[in-house]
Structure 1
Amino acid sequence: MRRALQGLAIVGTMVLTSPAEAREAPRLAAIFADHAVLQRDRPISVWGTGAAGARLTVDLGGQTVRTTAGADGRWRALLPARGAGGPFTLKVVDADGAGDEAGDVLVGDVWLCSGQSNMELQVSRTLNGPSVIGSANDPALRLLTVAKDFDPAPQAEFRNPVSWAPAGPEAVGNFSATCYYFGHDLRRDHEVPMGLINASWGGSNIETWMSGEALERAGEGRRLSILSRLASDPVAAQADWGGQWQAWWGGQASDTPWSPADAGPWTAVPAMAPWERWGVPELAVYNGMVWFRLDIDLTAAQAGEARTLSLGNVDEADQTWINGVAVGASGSGDRLYQLPRGLLKAGSNTIVVNAYDTWEVGGLYGPAEKRALILANGESVPLDPAGWRYRAATNVGIAPPRAPWSSTSGLTTIGNAMIAPLHDYGLKGALWYQGESNTGEGLRYRDLLAGLMADWRARFGAEDLPFLIVQLANFGQPPTAPGPSGWAELRESQRRAVAADDHAGLAVAIDLGDRWDIHPAQKQELGRRLARAARHVVYGDPAPPSGPTPTSVERIGDEIVIAFADVTGELRTLSGAQIVGLELCVTGDDCRYAAATASGRTVRIPAQAGEQIGEVRFCWADSPVCNLYDAAGLPAGPFRERVGFRSPPGSD
C-alpha cells in the first residue's frame, strides 16, 4: 500500500513530530502509485511536489538520485534505465526522512491507449465479456484509467484520483476493451510486465487532444487566441466567439434569430423536455439545431444586480445570447454564463439559445430551478418555463462551429487535463482509436493525425514513439452505388498518415464494425490486430503488420493492375471469385463498380477501351462490403489510388 513517510523523533515514551512535519513532505505524482509499471530500457522520469527548495532523494529498488524542489515546490528526477523486473518500491524522501512511496512497482512496457468512445468501450460491453472478465488473472498486466476531465489550460497534475490495478476480474470489466485485448494478446509472447493507460473520451474530436503549439501549426490561431482570453476576460472571450458563430450563421441563412427584433415564426415550447418528446412529428427523430427564445421582464434592481445566466443542461451544444449579445457557448455540463455589466435593462429582455444535437435526445431541459438569472446577492429570477418559444433550423444541414473551450469539440481541452499531467512518463508506444467525430473533415485529418503524433512525441520526450492507429470500422447501411463518403475520406487520411510515418502501424477494422451500432462489440480481434502491428513496428517481427496494402496501380493496355504488399501467402476472395467494392473513377465521384479477380499478390480489373480512368477506389463508403483478404485472414483495407500508365509488353 502506498504510504507517506514522516520524520519522527522518539523521546522516552513520547513520539514527537520532527521539524519535517511542519513543512510539506515530498509527494510522488499520482501516476506513481502502488502497482505502477515504469518503462524499461530508458531513463525513468519521476516527479512530484514538496517544500520549496527541499533536497530530496528518489529511490527505485536501490537505485538513487538526488534532486531539489523548485521555488514552486515541484521537483523532477531522472533515474537510470533498467531492464524489466520487479516488484520494487519507489520512494522520495527529504533530508529528515519524510516522504512518500509506492509499492509493488514493476518495470516493463507501458502503452497509452487514447481516442473516443470505441477506445473507451469497456470489456463488459464486448462479445463474450463475462467469460473474459471472469478468467482475467495476470498480475504482471497492470491497468490505469484516467478520469474524464478538460480545461482550457494545461494542467500539471491530474485533478481526479488515478490508480493502477493488476488485471483481474474487478479491474478488467470497466477497462477499455481495445486496450485490454491488445495488452493481453501481447503478453502471450512478450512476458515482460506491461502497463496499460486508458485516457479516452467518447465523442471527442482530435483537436481536443492536441497542444496549442500543434494546433497553431494546423491553422487554428484565431480560435486559440479566443481560448487564451477565457481565463482573464471570459465575457470578452464569449463575445468574440459569438461574433465568429454569427459570421458562420450568416453564410448559411439570412435571418438573425438571436436579435430581439426577430419577430418569428416562434412556437410555444410544449414542455421543457427533449424535443423528441414534444409530439411534434418533424422533431421526433431530429438531430440538428433548434432555436429557443424567452422574453422576460425585469425590474431596474434585478437588471442591475443580475450577474450570471444559468441554463442548466443543454443537449448537446449551445450558443446563447441576451439582448442580441453573445454571452455563452459550451458543449457539456450545466451552463453558467457571466454577464457583462449594463447588458440587462428594466423592462423586456430577450434570451435566445441555439441548441445543437447530433445523437439521441436534444434540447433545453432538466430541473426548472437551474434556469434562472442569478443576482449579486445570491438570489435568482426564475426563467418561466411557460414562456419559452422555439423554431427548428431545418434549413441548416451542417454542424455549427464549436467554442474552443468545449470539452469534446474544442481545442486542447482534453489533452490539457488528461495527457499533459503525464508529462514525460515513459511509454513503449501509443494506441489511437478516434476519427468518428472528425468525419466531416476527412481530407484535413491526415495533417491533424500527423500533427498529433508529432505533438505527443514532443510531450513524452521520445521522437520515435511508436503509434498504432485503428482505421475506422464500417458503420451504416451498405452502399448500392458509388458516391462520396466522409468516413472513407477519413480512413484514407489515416492510411496515408501511417504510411508516411516510419514509427506507425495501422490496424484495419473495415470488417469488424456493425452497420447498426457505431460501437461494435468485436474488440477481441481488433486487439489482436493491434498486437500484430506492435510486434512488427515495435518488436521487430518480420510478419506483415496488417493486411494487404496497394503499392502500385497501373493501366496496362485495357487492364488496371494493382500490386499489393504486406500479403501473407496469396490474395483470396471470400464468398465468390469476384472482388467486391472496387470502383473505377474518371474524376472525383464519377465512378462505377468494376469486376475484378485476384491472383497471387495482384488484382486485375478490365477497363473499357478508350475509358479515361483516373483513380481506383476500394471499399469507398461509410459501410462497404469488402471481401479481399490474404491467407492470414486479414482484409485489404480501403484505399484510393491514382492510376499510372505502362505500355503492355511488346507494344513497342
Structure 2
Amino acid sequence: MYSYFKIVFKTAVFCLISAFTYAQDLSFADPLGNHMVVQQNKPFKVWGNAQPGAIVRITADWASSPVEVVADPYGRFMGILPVPKAKRGDFSPHWLRLDSNETTVQLEDVLIGDVWICSGQSNMQFGMDEVVNAEKEIKKANHPNLRLFYAGLNFSNVPIDNVNGEWKSCDSTSVRKFSAVAYYFGSKLHEDLNIPVGVVFTGIGASAAQAYVPRRVLAADPLLDKEYLQPYLQSDRSKEKIDGGFSFEKVTRPYLLYNAIVHPFKNLSVSGFCWYQGESNRHERESYTLLTQAMIKSWRAAFAQGELPFYLVQVAPFFYDLEDPKLADYAFFREAQEAVTALANTEMVVTMDVGEAKDLHPKNKKPIGLRLARTALNRHYGRLEVDYQGPQFRDVKFEKGKALVSFEPESVKSGLQTNDGMPPRFFQVAGADQVFYPAKAVIKGNRILLSSKEVKRPVAVRYAFTNYPVTNLENKEGIPAVPFRTDNWQEPD
C-alpha cells in the first residue's frame, strides 16, 4: 500500500513539475518585435509561446481576418498570415496581436518591406564607428524606415529557438555599432526601392564557416565529416559544457553558431542572405568550396523559401605578416571562394581595390555594401540597368610574344579604366617553365594587351593572383576586375 501511494505521489509531483516546466507566458518568438519589418508578398509565419493546448488568435491590421492555432504540449504555436506587396513610398506603421486565455500581446510600429540576413566574421561585424569618416557617416544615418536587428552572440550544442536582440529604427545611435557592410547594403536598397528594409546581422569575428553549418549536414558528407566534424567530435573540446562566452577557438567549432544564431531565425520570411567570411578558413581549398555550398543549401532548406539569393564577399588583400609580393596562397583561397558561385542564385562581390595590404580589417566598407546592393538590385529585383559585375575574364590569345586578354562583354559594356589613371597593375605572365613575371599592361578598348621582357613566349596569364595586390583596374561603373588565372598549375606547397 505504501508503495502504491509512493508511486501516486511521485506521479503527481512529476505532472506538477511538467506543468510548470511547459507553462508559458503568451509571447512572440524573439525575432519578432516592435519596429520590425515583415517580409512583403510572402506567407508570414507568426510563432511563439503560450499555455500548452491554449487557443492563440493571431491578428494583423493588414490581414482581412485573424488566424487561430492551438499551442502544442510544449506551449509552442505557429500561424501563417498573408502579407501584401509593399508599395513604393508607403511607410505606414502596422500592428500585430496575439490573444489567448484573456491575455493580449501586441507589436507596434511594424512595417511591410524586405528583410535580409547578413552574416560572417569580423569584416561583416565591423561597425560603423570604425569606417572611413565614421562620425560624418553616422550623423547622416537617419533612416527611420530602415530597421536593424543585431543578434547577440551565443553557442549551443543543439538547435535552439531563442536569440538576443531587438529591432531598432536606424539612427545615429542604433547604427554606431551595427555592421557597416550590412548598413550600407540596407540603406542603398531602402533608398532605391523606396520601401521599408529590415537588416539582421548575426555573426561574430574570427568565426569559421563550419560553425554555421548544421551537424547533420556535416555528418552526411564524407569530406565534410572527415575535415570538420570528426576532428571536433573526437577531441576533448566536444565534451566541454557550452556556454555563451566568446573565445577565438570556440567560434571555429562546427555547428555551434548555426544552432544558436542562425536556427532561431529559420521561421522568419526573408528576401535573402549576404555573407562576408573566409579569413578563418584561408588554408582550405576544395573543402571550403564544398563547405560553403553545403551551408547555403542548409540555410535555404531551413528557411524553406526556395533558392533564396546568397551574395558573398571575396576576402580583401592582406599580407599575413609575410612581405613577399610573389606569394599566392591567399589568391588560391579566393579562387575557392569564387567556385562557390557555381551554385544557383549565388553571386560574389570583389574587394581587391578597397583592401589595405597590411590591415586585415580595411575601413572602406561603403563600396562593399553598395556592391552587394547593386548585385541584389540587378539579380533579385530585376533592375537590369544596374551594373553589378566587374570585368570578368573570358579568354586570352597569345601572339608574337604578347598576350591579349578579353573579358565577358556584359562585364565591360561601359568600358575599361583604372581608378587612378595609371596603367593596370598586377598582371603576370609565364612561359612553359611556370615562372611568373610582372607584365606591362595596356588598355586596348575593352581588352588588355600584356608583354614582358622576361617572358618571350607566354603561355599563361594571372591577374591580381597574389596575396595582397590592391588593384586599380575596373570598368567605367567603378566595379573592380575579378582576379583570375588562365593556367591550371598546381599550387606550390
TM-score of the pair, normalised by structure 2: 0.84
The CA distance in 1 between the partners of 2:436 and 2:244, in whole Å, is: 41
Change in CA separation of 1:436 and 1:91 when aligned onto 2, cut-off 3 Å? same
Change in CA separation of 1:156 and 1:619 when aligned onto 2, cut-off 3 Å? same
Three-state SS of the structure 1 residue aligned to 2:275 is strand
- 1:176 positional shift: 0.8
1:623 is the counterpart of 2:465: no
Structure 1 match to 2:103: 98
Structure 2 match to 1:207: 210
The CA distance in 1 between the partners of 2:333 and 2:194, in whole Å, is: 36
1:572 is the counterpart of 2:414: no
Which one of the candidate residues 419, 426, 432 is aligned to 1:581? 426
The CA distance in 1 between the partners of 2:252 and 2:432, in whole Å, is: 33
- 1:503 positional shift: 1.6
The CA distance in 1 between the partners of 2:49 and 2:328, in whole Å, is: 53
- 1:574 positional shift: 4.9
Letter in 2 for 1:122: G
The CA distance in 2 between the partners of 1:330 and 1:612, in whole Å, is: 55
The CA distance in 1 between the partners of 2:153 and 2:23, in whole Å, is: 32
Does the Cα contact within 8 Å between 1:88 and 1:104 map onto a contact in 2? yes
Structure 1 match to 2:328: 484
- 1:424 positional shift: 2.5
Three-state SS of the structure 1 residue aligned to 2:405 is strand
Q: Deviations over 1:472-527 (max 9, x none)?
A: 11223796653332x212211222322x2342222211111222321111112222
1:455 is the counterpart of 2:312: no
Letter in 2 for 1:89: W
The CA distance in 2 between the partners of 1:580 and 1:334, in whole Å, is: 41
Structure 1 match to 2:186: 183
The CA distance in 2 between the partners of 1:119 and 1:60, in whole Å, is: 34
- 1:226 positional shift: 7.6
The CA distance in 2 between the partners of 1:467 and 1:482, in whole Å, is: 32
Structure 2 match to 1:147: 152
Change in CA separation of 1:191 and 1:62 when aligned onto 2, cut-off 3 Å? closer
Structure 1 match to 2:8: none
Q: Deviations over 1:398-452 (max 9, x none)?
A: xxxxxxxx52111011111000011221111111011111111134322222222
Does the Cα contact within 8 Å between 2:154 and 2:245 map onto a contact in 1? no
- 1:328 positional shift: 6.5
The CA distance in 2 between the partners of 1:634 and 1:588, in whole Å, is: 34
In the alignment, structure 2 segments of 5+ residues that lack a partner are 1-21, 489-493
Structure 1 match to 2:112: 107
Three-state SS of the structure 2 residue aligned to 1:215 is helix
The CA distance in 1 between the partners of 2:377 and 2:62, in whole Å, is: 32
The CA distance in 2 between the partners of 1:332 and 1:419, in whole Å, is: 15
- 1:572 positional shift: 2.0
The CA distance in 1 between the partners of 2:407 and 2:241, in whole Å, is: 49
Which one of the candidate residues 117, 122, 125 is aligned to 1:120? 125
User: What CA RMSD, in Å, does the superposition of the two structures yield over aligned residues?
Assistant: 2.9
Structure 2 match to 1:47: 47
Structure 2 match to 1:3: none
Does the Cα contact within 8 Å between 1:580 and 1:626 map onto a contact in 2? yes
Structure 2 match to 1:468: 311
The CA distance in 2 between the partners of 1:620 and 1:329, in whole Å, is: 43
Which one of the candidate residues 439, 443, 465 is aligned to 1:598? 443
Paired residues in the alignment total: 454
The CA distance in 2 between the partners of 1:66 and 1:578, in whole Å, is: 67
- 1:464 positional shift: 2.0
Structure 2 match to 1:503: 345
Change in CA separation of 1:152 and 1:555 when aligned onto 2, cut-off 3 Å? farther
The CA distance in 2 between the partners of 1:421 and 1:562, in whole Å, is: 47
The CA distance in 1 between the partners of 2:433 and 2:155, in whole Å, is: 39
Structure 1 match to 2:196: 193
TM-score of the pair, normalised by structure 1: 0.65
The CA distance in 2 between the partners of 1:528 and 1:612, in whole Å, is: 37
Does the Cα contact within 8 Å between 2:285 and 2:332 map onto a contact in 1? yes
1:519 is the counterpart of 2:361: yes
Q: Deviations over 1:130-173 (max 9, x none)?
A: 12222322111001100011112111222xx3211101111111
Structure 1 match to 2:255: 412
Change in CA separation of 1:35 and 1:633 when aligned onto 2, cut-off 3 Å? same
- 1:333 positional shift: 5.1
1:544 is the counterpart of 2:394: no
The CA distance in 2 between the partners of 1:616 and 1:425, in whole Å, is: 46
Structure 2 match to 1:81: 83
1:220 is the counterpart of 2:224: yes
Does the Cα contact within 8 Å between 2:62 and 2:83 map onto a contact in 1? no
Letter in 2 for 1:636: A
Three-state SS of the structure 2 residue aligned to 1:31 is coil
- 1:74 positional shift: 1.1
Change in CA separation of 1:452 and 1:166 when aligned onto 2, cut-off 3 Å? same
Q: Deviations over 1:354-406 (max 9, x none)?
A: xxx9xxxxxxxxxxxxxxxxxxxxxxxxxxxxxxxxxxxxxxxxxxxxxxxx5
Change in CA separation of 1:133 and 1:603 when aligned onto 2, cut-off 3 Å? same
Does the Cα contact within 8 Å between 2:56 and 2:69 map onto a contact in 1? yes
1:163 is the counterpart of 2:160: no
Q: Deviations over 1:566-624 (max 9, x none)?
A: 124211235566432112245897322222322222223348898472x4221112211
- 1:334 positional shift: 9.5
In the alignment, structure 1 segments of 5+ residues that lack a partner are 1-21, 228-236, 243-318, 320-325, 336-356, 358-405, 644-652
Change in CA separation of 1:203 and 1:197 when aligned onto 2, cut-off 3 Å? same
Structure 1 match to 2:5: none
Does the Cα contact within 8 Å between 1:58 and 1:92 map onto a contact in 2? yes
More helix by share: 2
- 1:457 positional shift: 0.9
Larger radius of gyration: 1
Does the Cα contact within 8 Å between 1:172 and 1:180 map onto a contact in 2? yes
- 1:626 positional shift: 2.1
Structure 2 match to 1:231: none
The CA distance in 1 between the partners of 2:79 and 2:316, in whole Å, is: 42
Q: Deviations over 1:324-374 (max 9, x none)?
A: xx9879999599xxxxxxxxxxxxxxxxxxxxx9xxxxxxxxxxxxxxxxx
Change in CA separation of 1:38 and 1:573 when aligned onto 2, cut-off 3 Å? same
- 1:207 positional shift: 0.6
- 1:28 positional shift: 0.8
Three-state SS of the structure 1 residue aligned to 2:93 is strand
Change in CA separation of 1:414 and 1:93 when aligned onto 2, cut-off 3 Å? same
The CA distance in 1 between the partners of 2:149 and 2:428, in whole Å, is: 44
The CA distance in 2 between the partners of 1:588 and 1:491, in whole Å, is: 24
The CA distance in 2 between the partners of 1:524 and 1:451, in whole Å, is: 29
The CA distance in 1 between the partners of 2:127 and 2:97, in whole Å, is: 33
The CA distance in 2 between the partners of 1:329 and 1:560, in whole Å, is: 59
Does the Cα contact within 8 Å between 1:443 and 1:490 map onto a contact in 2? no
The CA distance in 2 between the partners of 1:587 and 1:494, in whole Å, is: 28
Does the Cα contact within 8 Å between 1:492 and 1:640 map onto a contact in 2? no
Change in CA separation of 1:80 and 1:330 when aligned onto 2, cut-off 3 Å? closer
